[in-house]
Amino acid sequence: MTARSGVWITLEGGDGSGKTTQAELLEKWLTDAGHTVLRTREPGGSEVGHLIRDIVLHHRGDIAPRAEALLYAADRAHHVATVVRPALERGEIVLQDRYLDSSVAYQGAGRVLDATEVRELSLWAAEGALPDLTLLLDLDAATARTRLDSADKPFDRLESEKAEFHTRVRESFLALAAAEPERFLVLDAAQAPEVIAAGIRARVAALV
């Protein structure tokens, strides 16, 4: 990856962990302080990615595990090359909902694919690019499920997976954070949104 002057922050966590709320609060805090922020997400942070998002989240019926992993990786390759890297080169702060840790946690949690291979695939797709900071919103699967149930929104393919799947996703995220403590900040997503936001701001202030 070429030299970059911006700051790249990703948000990770299970479905219903409150990533969107925290991204909104952080974006407001950063823009109020005069920073240029690009909010984006995977899958679906580019035009091509939008089409891929529709397949991976809304296709009725099975998608072969390797095909699913490649679809997320394809979205990632195009997103990093055409959206994230240019913004970082312009010196912006990129605030991104989900990145390769989601692939390792979700595609690896199905137990069919090897987590290391999934990570290697994503790193190849993104030419090795890793964020400066990854915020992990950690929440137990039961609380997350209660939140999703009360959100009154139809479930997508991954949200409808069974509870054990989501427990494995959570464990995988925590293992990733433990393996790279300098990149990750783990937050207890059961806390009040303002408390979580304050923890995030304290860490981000040191970066920007």
- Whether residue 20 is annotated as binding a ligand: the answer is yes
Span interacting with ligand TYD, options 24-32, 81-89, 96-104, 171-179, rule CB under 6 A: 96-104
Residues between 39 and 68 that touch ligand TYD (CB under 6 A): 41-43, 57
Looking at the Cβ atoms of 30 and 144, the one nearer to ligand TYD is 144
Residue choice 72, 133, 135, 176 for contact with ligand TYD (CB under 6 A): 72
Q: How far is the CB of 88 from ligand TYD (least distance, A)?
A: 19
d(Cα 185, Cα 134) in Å, to the nearest integer? 6
Question: With b meaning 16 or more CB within 10 Å and e meaning fewer, what string describes 129-168?
Answer: bebbbbbbbbbebeebbeebeeeeeeeebbbebeeebbeb
Q: How far is the CB of 148 from ligand TYD (least distance, A)?
A: 9
Please give the Cα distance from 62 to 64 (Å, whole number).
6
Strand ranges inside the chain, DSSP E: 7-13, 37-41, 93-97, 133-138, 184-188
Burial grade of 201 (CB within 10 A; 0-12, 13-18, 19 or more)? middle
**Is 110 known as a binding-site position?**
no
Q: Which of residues 125-184 bind ligand TYD (CB under 6 A)?
A: 156, 158-159
Binder of ligand TYD out of 40, 103, 134, 172 (CB under 6 A): 103
Asked if 12 interacts with ligand TYD (CB under 6 A), we say no
Among 106, 131, 132, 170, the residue binding ligand TYD under the rule CB under 6 A is: 106
List, in order, residues 6 or more apart from 1 with CB less than 8 Å away.
85, 127, 128, 129
CB of 184: closest distance to ligand TYD in angstroms?
16
Q: Give the interface segment with ligand TYD, choosing from 38-46, 81-89, 125-133, 175-183 (CB under 6 A).
A: 38-46
Please give the single-letter amino acid code of residue 22. Answer: Q
CB 194 within 8 A of CB 200: no
Q: Which is nearer to ligand TYD, 132 or 172 (CB)?
A: 172
Site size for ligand TYD (CB under 6 A): 15
